Amino acid sequence: MRILHTMLRVGNLERSLAFYTEVLGMRLLRRQDYPGGRFTLAFVGYDAETQGAVLELTHNWDTAAYELGNAFGHVAIEVDDAYAACAEIKARAGKVVREAGPMQHGSTVIAFVEDPDGYKIELIQKKS
């Protein structure tokens, strides 16, 4: 068994695709409209779906925004250098909500960014 994807509902698919591809550097792997159900699925990731877990962005055509609730935590992405990643994300107009630095009760360097719908993405710096 393996994890295939995590699904996030998004209010504006084009805005979300721009964030995940242009700001975080993922690739659009596939996209399919379902006119009968009035929704679109777009899959983004760093590797092919056969190679690693990806994100499924679900856009329900008649829903412009969602309440995130308080149960969802975050999506985690490993980066070589969290400080450089934050600088690059800011340069691409991304929103850094916790600057890179050691986690409070440990030495792992982390940072948090937020996507256009308010989902948190944790950047975790690779251990040397």
pTM of the model: 0.90
For the chain, list the domains and their CATH numbers: 5-60 (3.10.180.10), 75-125 (3.10.180.10)
- Around Cβ 52, how many Cβ atoms within 10 Å? 13
Helix H or strand E segment including 100 = strand 95-102
List, by residue number, the catalytic residues. Answer: 122
Task: For residue 8, give the nearest of 62, 86, 60, 70 by alpha carbon.
Answer: 60
- Residue 23 contacts residue 92 (beta carbons within 8 Å): yes
pLDDT tens-place string over residues 46-104? 999 999 999 999 999 999 999 999 889 999 999 999 999 999 999 999 999 999 999 98
CA distances from 125 to 4, 25, 78, 108, 122 (A): 23, 16, 6, 7, 10
